[in-house]
Amino acid sequence: MKNKFLMGGVIIFSIFFTGCVTYPVVGAFESSDEIFRGTVDHNTFLGVGDINVEAEKSGIQCKGASRVTYFPPFSLGCAGQRGEAPMRCDDGRFINVAWTADSCTSGTGGGSDDQGGKFNFVFGLTEAEAMDFINKRAELNRA
């Protein structure tokens, strides 16, 4: 009987903690050359995550929580999931962003801060891929 309870506890513990992954996030405001870098700590089982980014030049830090708001019907993976990730920055700004998953560990998003500044970001890509995305998104939005 004792072994059954122990095994049940191990299974429950595993379910809640095996779905946790950390991956990089890179973002930028369109009106600035300041790059924000950080991480997303994502619990794929619960569909929530913590975001921490820091601006390279100014050192501004922004933190927030992400959650899935849409699961595509008949999907076995994460591609197509959408979510929101409001962040508060230590300079007083509030950034409200939405994202779309390309996979369980990568995707793109964008939004704006409470001063109207447009913010674009990508997560789960290599450094070169992330910078390519940020530069292309900024060019498209300026046109």
Per cent of the chain over pLDDT 70 is 84
Could you tell me the CA-to-CA distances from 45 to 17, 65, 115 in Å, in that order? 8, 15, 34
26, β-bridge pairs = 37, 122
CA pair distance 57, 12, nearest whole angstrom: 43
Q: Which domains does the chain have, with CATH numbers?
A: 20-142 (2.40.128)
What is the predicted pLDDT for the residue at 16? Answer: 47
Lowest mean pLDDT among 8-17, 28-37, 62-71, 124-133: 8-17
Q: Is 33 helix (H, G, I), strand (E, B) or coil?
A: coil
Extract long-range pairs of 104-107: CB within 8 Å, 24+ residues apart: 104/21, 104/44, 104/77, 104/78, 105/21, 105/23, 105/42, 105/78, 106/23
Question: How confident is the model at residue 33, as a pLDDT?
Answer: 86
For residue 142, is pLDDT > 90?
no
Between residues 52 and 47, the one the model is more confident about: 52
Q: Tell me which DSSP letter residue 81 carries.
A: -
Strands 107-113 and 82-84: unpaired
DSSP assigned state of 10:
H
- Model pTM? 0.80
Residue 44: band (very low, low, confident or very high) from pLDDT cuts 50, 70, 90: confident
Supply the pLDDT for residue 108: 95
The confidence band for 8, taking pLDDT boundaries of 50, 70 and 90, is very low
Average pLDDT for the chain: 86
Q: How are beta strands 87-89 and 82-84 bridged, if at all?
A: unpaired
- Local confidence band at 139 (pLDDT 50, 70, 90 cut-offs): confident
